[in-house]
Structure 1
Amino acid sequence: MALLWADGGCTGSLVEYGLTVLALVLAIVKRSDDMRGFVVLPKRRIVERFFAHLMRSRRLVRDFERSTSSAEAMVYWSATMLMTRRLARPRPSRA
Structure 2
Amino acid sequence: MNHESTPLWEVFIRSQHGLAHKHVGSLHAADAQMAINHARDVYTRRNEGLSIWVVRAADIVASSPDDKAPLFDPAQSKVYRHPTFFPMPEGVQHI
Structure number with greater CO (CA < 8 Å, separation at least 6) is 2
TM-score of the pair, normalised by structure 2:
0.23
TM-score of the pair, normalised by structure 1:
0.23
More strand by share: 2
